[in-house]
Amino acid sequence: MGIQKFSYKQVFRVLLLATVLLSGASVNGQKNAPATIILKRHAEKDTVDTNPGLTGAGKLRAKKLMTLFPNAQPDEMYATPYKRTFQTLQPWAASLNITIKPYDATKLPDFANHLLSEKGKTIVVAGHSNTTPALANLLVGADNYKTLDDNEYNKVFAITVVKGKAKGKVIEY
């Protein structure tokens, strides 16, 4: 499956629709409330050690991430236990006073099931070039996404789950 590019207006419209749908979900309707799961490979990393942080370009990309989803109010954020993944989400998490929770990328099927069970939530996850597309595939139940190249930091996987069915889109920024 080829990767489609979406304009900011298209992304905004999709998120606006998701926000409207989410805001209309009642407590009794949570069972079928749509969920949004935003998956991002960490931003540009330094190469100085085994657990590098972000480069200057990576820090700028991390700040820009939240501007892709101006109306999204994430309920939860997850990152693998590495500096670069936490730093990718940190600007957005700090702006919302959300604690980033660690997840184990060696247990992606379990994590995918957990994410799919979170009805009506918006969740942001930072991972890696191999684990992010793999998680997207587990969520949509198909092998649609390939491992990212080492120099690909500009893709976000936006997964929408409605009535147990997940669909994904790739957004480049």
* pTM, entire model: 0.82
Helical spans, DSSP H, in the chain: 8-23, 56-68, 83-96, 108-117, 131-140
Q: What structural domains and CATH numbers belong to the chain?
A: 8-172 (3.40.50.1240)
Element (H, E) at 156: strand 155-162
Q: Mind listing the pLDDT tens digit for each residue in 96-143?
A: 999 999 999 999 999 999 999 999 999 999 999 999 999 999 999 999
The distance of Cα 45 from the centroid of its chain, to the nearest Å, equals: 18
